Amino acid sequence: MSFFRRLLTLNPPTYANTGSTARDHLASERTFLAWIRTGLGFVALGIAVERFSQLDLEALIDHLLPDHAAKSSRQSRAEIDRETRHRQNREQLLVGTLMGTGGGSIVYGVSRYFGVMRMLERGMFRPSYFGAAGLGVAVSTMAGGAYWGTLRREIQRREGERLEERKERKIGEVTASIARKKG
């Protein structure tokens, strides 16, 4: 009976519990469930990031912190729109990466489970290197991207503060020189 026919009839084969047959199949099943759990965790995180990004945090912050509202009113509408579009693009990239990693983990876990089951039926086993390595690369890439994005935003914020300080200092110097000329 073919593998897919057995799968469709939901009549799994029965094996004699010789050696470590049952233990091997149960270990494979636990590994499968771990891949599913990992994939669902990534998907849930992607959904949470997407839902959280829909909140209007600027309005909430402006309401709670009047100083922030005064500062944001000095920004031009075009600058605010540009920052919003840039933030939304970053969020969409993160959500897509999380959902893709989660979906990939689930698909890999399912295919690996059935592949291991076929190998165990023949009395063989092939270790998996690529699944764990792929997941490790994906997680490292996301962590590195998040770190780099945070670092870049912090650098831009500091540069903006320095530019604002220079502007205020220059305005003060110009005001002082005008006052001296009049006085």
Q: Are residues 53 and 111 in the same domain?
A: yes
Residue 173 lies in a domain: yes
Give the total number of structural domains in the chain. Answer: 2
Last residue of a domain, one of 128, 156, 174: 128
Cα–Cα distance, 165 to 87 (Å, whole number): 25
Domain that holds residue 159: 129-183
Q: Are residues 26 and 116 in the same domain?
A: yes
Q: Are residues 99 and 41 in the same domain?
A: yes
- Please report the pLDDT score of residue 43 as a whole number: 95
Please state the rounded mean pLDDT for residues 69-93.
72
pTM to 2 decimals? 0.66
What percentage of the chain reaches a pLDDT higher than 70?
78
Cα–Cα distance, 63 to 47 (Å, whole number): 27
Q: Which pairs count as long-range contacts for 177-180, CB under 8 Å and 24+ apart, including other chains?
A: none
pLDDT in tens, 21-53: 888 888 989 999 999 999 999 999 999 988 888
